[in-house]
Chain A
């Protein structure tokens, strides 16, 4: 069975500071990994995905994530936080690219201080 662990429920950073949101996964097969962002009263928007190509994945809005198999991690980073990055972030895993069953982490709320 697959699972995702996102440590901590809330991260607060200053504007311009590094953003680091952690994600660890468990999967019995090589996984597909995703980061989604959710703004208030909206659905989920894909930030980036890992599909066994490059281990460093670049996404939208300046975010990137690195797949580390040895650490079973897929942490999300952004060099410089912007106020508009304040949202909830979800890491998700799928054991098959062929279906739409994603297992999500509990999510992390990112706050950005002026």
Chain B
């Protein structure tokens, strides 16, 4: 069973540019969530998508956005990049069970460097 696939793995952008990151969840998983990991702030929840709808949102500015497609694949976009956006962006998928805890399976991440 293939895991969560994130592309690209590494990318370098300059301030003011925008970036789109892609995430393919595990087959059958309908929930996709995104996290930002930085040395200073640690792991922070960005947003979660389920059935093409944003179900939950973290405390990030509107420059951070996402979407989910009908095949559950998800993209996140960051516009007007700032130096502080340099981070590892992690995508996670889960089966979204009706009971019990939804266990997240994480991808390897996309490491964004903003110069």
Which of B33, B56, B92, B104 has most A Cβ within 10 Å? B104
Q: Which residues of A contact B (CB under 8 A)?
A: 32, 34, 36, 41-46, 49, 51, 90, 92, 94, 97-107
Does B4 belong to the interface (CB within 8 Å)? yes
- Is the pair B102, A98 in contact by a Cβ cutoff of 8 Å? yes
CB neighbours (8 Å) of A97 from chain B are 97, 99-102
**B33 & A100 in contact (Cβ 8 Å cutoff):** yes
Chain B 83-103, CB within 8 Å of chain A: the 1/0 string? 000000010101011111111
Q: Find B56's partner among A32, A99, A105 (CB 8 Å cutoff).
A: A99
Q: Which residues of A contact B106 (CB under 8 A)?
A: 36, 43-45
Q: Range of interface residues on chain B?
A: 20 to 34
Chain B interface (Cβ < 8 Å from any Cβ of A): 4, 31, 33, 35, 42-45, 48, 55-56, 58, 90, 92, 94, 96-109
Partner of A100, one of B4, B43, B94: B94
Q: A34-B103, A43-B106, A92-B43 are in contact. List 6 more A-B contacts (CB 8 A).
A: A97-B102, A99-B55, A100-B92, A101-B45, A101-B48, A103-B45
